[in-house]
Amino acid sequence: MAGFLLRRLVNYAVLIAVATSLAYILAALALDPRSNYEGRSPRPPAAVIDAQLSLYNLNDHTPLIQRYLRWAGDVARGDLGRTWNGDRVDAELRRRLGVTARLILLGLVIGGVAGVLIGALAAVRQYGWFDRLSTVTAFLVLAIPTVVLANMLIIAAVWLNDHLGVQVFLVSGEETPGLEGGVGADVLDRVKHLALPTLSLAVGQIAVYSRYQRNMMLDVMDADFVRTAMAKGLRRRTALVKHALRTALIPAVTYFAFTFGSLLVGATITESVFGWHGMGEELVASIRSNDVNMVAAISCFAALAVLTASLASDVLQAVLDPRVRVG
């Protein structure tokens, strides 16, 4: 197992290096940080602009290969470079990562767990009312774009707030700036902010997981080993949970790890709708602001996140399924 993981790690390191390099080169060719300076008024002298750009390794008058090598050398030493106006990329990235992680973690966990439960229940009562209802709802949710869904939630929340006369849900940002009242009030404020984006993420995840889990469950429910479990004297419910669900859970869990990795950079729409300044939002913003180093850094991080997630899903798979635990 250790050898297998090590080989995987080496493979992934190579993949990340390639992906990040390509992202950097693409960004460096396509984005134009010089225009950010030239657009200022009063327009700084060309020599100053050049000096600034060179300082941040963004000068398009330097050959690409030189810029790339300098950038790569810095990255290898752990320095992700500077944004176009001189901030440190890694500090900004860390802040953003925290925001996104806080945003998606709860939504994903709720979505995954609820999705699995709903899917399993739907499978057990196949073609029953619950199965039909969950199927229709899942497809409805899947058919609605995230941005619409999120805005519908906001409208509903505002309506609710108005009716109750209390601000139950807060629809924008991560916390109320300048709030006073100690830790308790702060936590409550954060929960109020978190509720809607979490719900919006969870609903989408539930829709995906419930369909997925339902099919996995249907596959194993009629399996001979479930019948064996019942033949030993287990009740149907116990046999289904202990033997069928446990086996059908393997793909869902590995898929969960994967979703987590990709959502770290991929929750852009949710972030923008609810005004959370997370990773996905930053990616869009950095492209708009011609921020080559930031784009490369986020790409690097995205590659890292996806591959780490895939490694985690491999490990989980091996832990959960003895059949793949070979050598």
Q: Which residues bind another protein (CB under 8 A)?
A: 11, 222-225, 227-236, 243, 246-247, 250, 320-323, 327
**Closest CA relative to residue 306, chosen from 279, 284, 277:** 279
Minimum CB separation of residue 246 from another protein in Å reads: 6
> Is the CB of 17 or the CB of 105 nearer to another protein?
17
Residue 82 pairs in a beta bridge with 88
* Cα-based distances in Å from 311 to 36, 146, 276, 297: 40, 28, 28, 21
> Is the CB of 94 or the CB of 235 nearer to another protein?
235
Residue with tokens 């339902």: 214
Residue type, 160: L
Minimum CB separation of residue 1 from another protein in Å reads: 14
> Is the CB of 70 or the CB of 236 nearer to another protein?
236
CB within 8 Å of 160: residues ≥ 6 apart:
168, 169
Contact indicator for 275, 223 with CB cutoff of 8 Å: no
> Is the CB of 180 or the CB of 224 nearer to another protein?
224
Minimum CB separation of residue 225 from another protein in Å reads: 4
> Is the CB of 255 or the CB of 276 nearer to another protein?
255
Minimum CB separation of residue 258 from another protein in Å reads: 20
Minimum CB separation of residue 213 from another protein in Å reads: 16
Residues constituting the chain: 327
Residue with tokens 């209390």: 166
**Closest CA relative to residue 21, chosen from 83, 64, 60, 63:** 64
> Is the CB of 198 or the CB of 310 nearer to another protein?
310
CB within 8 Å of 172: residues ≥ 6 apart:
193, 274, 275
> Is the CB of 8 or the CB of 277 nearer to another protein?
8
Minimum CB separation of residue 134 from another protein in Å reads: 20
* Cα-based distances in Å from 192 to 115, 147, 156, 182: 23, 20, 14, 16
> Is the CB of 59 or the CB of 313 nearer to another protein?
313
CB within 8 Å of 268: residues ≥ 6 apart:
280, 281, 283, 284
Minimum CB separation of residue 129 from another protein in Å reads: 16
Counting Cα atoms < 13 Å in the Cβ hemisphere of 303 gives 20
Minimum CB separation of residue 4 from another protein in Å reads: 10
